[in-house]
Amino acid sequence: DGDRISGALGYWRESGRFVLYKAKAVVVATGGIGMAYKITSNSWEYTADGMALAYRAGAELIDMEFVQFHPTGMIWPPGVMGILVTEGVRGDGGLLKNNKGERFMFNYIPDMFRSETAETEEEVNRWLAGDKSARRTPDLLTRDVVARAILNEVKEGRGSEHGGAYLDISHKPAEYVKRKLPSMYMQFMELADVDITQQAMEVGPTTHYIMGGVRVEGKTTAATVPGLFAAGEAAGGLHGSNRLGGNSLSDLLVFGRLAGLAAAGYAKDLSTAPTVDSEEVDRAAAEVLAPFERSDGEDPFQIHRELRDHMQDNVGIIRDAEGLERGLEGLRGFKERVDRVRATGSRLFNPGWHLCADL
């Protein structure tokens, strides 16, 4: 309604039936962009839909280049690629090693962390044993540092069998591992047939979180479009260029509440309700249904696979101008292909159609 938000249009995944939400205020809380990458800890919902909708409605985005890669995700077998391996493994004694058995993180301590980071295996062992005078293990440096270190080891030919690093806690007693890390023990046993009390885990960087998102006002989470609010990973600017571990939950609790309060207050203070443009609704619905109208066209699943490979190869942890230019040019080609994407079957719980909309 002019420059104001008047609601949102969606559809039920089970039935394909459209549903129109007339609202004075809308809160975007749709998470991040992980499914744009080949290796991710994110589930299928994380396709940047909320950010894209906000942008198309006129909102500003911020810090979209800042993507966090968690250093330790499962990398084998392929079906479990990206599932997180908690930092608690390293905190409880897990050691990162390359294919030569070297504890390589000693070679990657940034100057800014050198005074607080152990520089020898002996000091790490004392820290793990609870010695307050010992400094923290380099295996627990910030996520960006550890992720780049693992990638560099792989690049230099010292990576694990499937292109990562080894995370080894088998030097600890089996009962200790099972007691301290029961979920990790079961995760590897059931998903990878690896007994972490006897064998090293194979881990590698996985796309985990985006620090960017919708630009919001800090005290109210209001976007630059009246009536639009954003919170959580969908909002940008809170974490700078690299979120610290654990801060996402605090973010959700604090700014999720602020967003709800601010949206309710905004709606209450409006003297008149915004009007939904029925023609705009019809156009949006027709755009979503367009893939069904095409007699031939691109397969959404194939496009998505290629897109994720493209992003992983060109817009990953380590970037350069050449790769970014190649990435941008490739995205132009993907956009043309998405305009020809085709859906088959009916609207009843149709994953292919859903993916067409996500793309």
Alpha-carbon distance 206 to 201, whole Å? 15
What dotted CATH number matches 71-207? 3.90.700.10
Alpha-carbon distance 195 to 177, whole Å? 10
Q: Is 181 exposed, middle or buried (0-12, 13-18, 19+ CB in 10 A)?
A: buried
Alpha-carbon distance 328 to 332, whole Å? 7
pLDDT interval class at 77 (50, 70, 90): confident
Look at residues 125, 130, 126, 105 and name the one whose alpha carbon lies nearest to residue 171.
125
Quickly list H helices, the chain: 49-56, 88-91, 121-128, 143-155, 174-180, 182-192, 247-269, 278-293, 300-314, 321-338, 351-358
Written as six digits, the tokens of 156 are 């230099």
- Average confidence (pLDDT) over 128-138: 94
What type of residue sits at position 38? K
Written as six digits, the tokens of 92 are 């409880």
CA dihedral 37, 42, 43, 48 (to 10 degrees): -60
Q: What is the pLDDT of residues 188-239, one digit of tens each?
A: 999 999 999 999 999 999 999 999 999 999 999 999 999 999 999 999 999 9
End-to-end Cα spacing for the chain: 27
- Res. 166: pLDDT tops 90: yes
CATH architecture of the region 278-358: Up-down Bundle (1.20)
pLDDT at 110: 96
Q: What three-state secondary structure class fits 66?
A: coil
Distance from CA of residue 349 to its chain's centroid? Answer: 25
DSSP state of 173: -
- Res. 48: pLDDT tops 90: yes
CB atoms within 10 A of CB 16: 17
Alpha-carbon distance 164 to 131, whole Å? 31
- Phi first, then psi: give them for residue 115, nearest 5 degrees: -70, -20
- Taking phi over 0 as left and psi of -120 to 50 as alpha, with beta for the rest, 345 belongs to left
- Phi first, then psi: give them for residue 292, nearest 5 degrees: -70, -25
Alpha-carbon distance 93 to 199, whole Å? 14
Angle between helix 278-293 and helix 351-358 axes, rounded to 10 deg: 120
Domain boundaries along the sequence of the chain: 7-66+211-269, 71-207, 278-358
∠ CA 216-218-223, nearest 5°, is 20
- pTM over 0.75? The answer is yes
pLDDT interval class at 244 (50, 70, 90): confident
pLDDT at 221: 97
Tell me which fold the domain 7-66+211-269 belongs to.
Answer: FAD/NAD(P)-binding domain (3.50.50)
pLDDT at 246: 86
Q: What is the pLDDT of residues 105-117, one digit of tens each?
A: 999 999 999 999 9
CB atoms within 10 A of CB 144: 19
- Res. 340: pLDDT tops 90: yes
**Active-site residues: which are they?**
70, 90
- Res. 57: pLDDT tops 90: yes
Look at residues 64, 24, 25, 39 and name the one whose alpha carbon lies nearest to residue 274.
24
Alpha-carbon distance 211 to 227, whole Å? 23
Look at residues 324, 297, 327 and name the one whose alpha carbon lies nearest to residue 309.
327
Residues 6+ apart with CB under 8 A from 345: 352, 353
Q: What is the pLDDT of residues 313-329, one digit of tens each?
A: 999 988 999 999 999 99
pLDDT interval class at 290 (50, 70, 90): very high
Alpha-carbon distance 320 to 328, whole Å? 12
CA dihedral 153, 318, 213, 329 (to 10 degrees): -140
Q: What is the pLDDT of residues 17-40, one digit of tens each?
A: 999 999 999 999 999 999 999 999
- Res. 78: pLDDT tops 90: no
pLDDT at 1: 78
